[in-house]
Structure 1
Amino acid sequence: MSVPTFHPSHSAVTSRLRSAGCVFAEDEAQLLIAAAHAPEELDRMVDQRVSGLPLEHLLGWAEFCGRHLAVEPGVFVPRRRTEYLVQEAARIARPDAVVVDLCCGSGAVGTAVAAAVGGVELHAADVDPAAVRCAARNVGPEGGEVHEGDLYSALPVSLRGRVDVLVANAPYVPTDAIGMMPPEARLHEPLVALDGGPDGLDVQRRIAGEAPLWLAPGGHLLIETSVRQAPSTAALFELAGLSAEVVHSDEFDATVVLGKLQQSHRK
């Protein structure tokens, strides 16, 4: 008995996606066709993509730092620009370092740093239960642990004063600017992963302020931010007693503030 062969039209799917405003319609069409097992499933996936559902939520994974990382519906999708945060953290971290990924979302940053460096003690934390479940799928294979809770309150007390590299892609979109974000982010990603408060710095402010309690002597804090907000983010670092250096990548169109704890500034 022969099994019917599924031969979808790449051009038809591409056309639908392009009409909906998908910039990379041809690439997305190929990915959706490869993921679908039947015409009905493909139609459903294309309909959802056209309605604005992130491609990564449909596929169940996002490509980040050359890896396919699990991403579930309702979880923040890691952006390519955040690969620069990973690059800078991996440059600093050493094997056996204690690495913490705060506001971890899918755990993409911590997972990528651990994979790049090797041998680190990895911890990731997020306040969103859906993100924590998703992060466990990515962090676990790297030997890491995921914790649920609000910033540092999620972490084991045993990490105080031991963290060598603390990375955070914390929400930094000002509340009033949320409405101007693309619908696929604004409507399908958790608000807690986007909204940084009135000036976009509320979460960064809390992270920087408590960082000296958790960093080891000479430990580093790295936070992704925007070009416009970078001076303010750097000022938060300095207020907490950390050095502050703003670094930028034209390749990734990304900005990171990098701080270091000096022994004399331990709280």
Structure 2
Amino acid sequence: MRAYLGLGSNLGDREQYLRDAINAIDGRVDESSVYETDPVGGPAGQGAFLNVVVALETDNSPRQLLELAQRLEAAAGRMREEHWGPRTLDVDVLLVGDLVVNEPDLVVPHPLWSERVFVVEPLREIAPARLAATLPVLDTSGVRRVDSLWGDFDRSVRPADAARWFTDWPGPWAVAGGWAIELFVGAPVRPHHDLEVIVARDDVHRLHDQLPGWEFFVPSPGGFAPWRRGEAFPADENQLWSRPSPDAMWSLEV
């Protein structure tokens, strides 16, 4: 089940609090870029928030995710001294599959998520197409996208992209390579320039229909050769590279 947590910090080393919390989330499959926003409500004079949305695959209930959120906040030393006051870390349970919960201390979906631009815009980055299509359009004038929490680690292609690209794929597939290692260890390992995915050889011809308009190439002496619709996949080859347009960087290795 796919769930989404919203994380924010406006006190102390904001980036480090977010990094530590993200790395402590089991089942994490993706996180958005970081967005900086002015505080909404609460006492005057607070610093700006850094916000990020994290996607995870989990069997945990919404209640268990709330308990996780509270543990992450406690680990960051959050003190609840003032309503909507400055905080080292704030973690909200935004969405948990299609589940609906309405309890005194837990409401899912989060009652304000669709009104908060610092939730909607990060979520738009990593949501599957079906969810992204339902997101509201909000005024983004008060939101500033900032540098990645991960410094030089290139996160322009993400596992969540594969989830969108392979929606309704008829056979098995899996993220592989460096991204798979990161998902396993829960932390950045090295820069990434593309995304590696494994599919069954018998299904590889379906890629042209799955990713219409993309270009596909197979290794050849001295470089790469185009692999076009209707052509047999080389029997002695087990890799191909693809990109969404001629001027794009390589995005997918299969």
TM-score between both structures, scaled by the size of structure 1? 0.27
Greater share of residues in strand: 2
TM-score between both structures, scaled by the size of structure 2? 0.28
Q: Of the two structures, which has the highest relative contact order with CA contacts closer than 8 Å and spacing of 6 or more?
A: 2
Greater share of residues in helix: 1
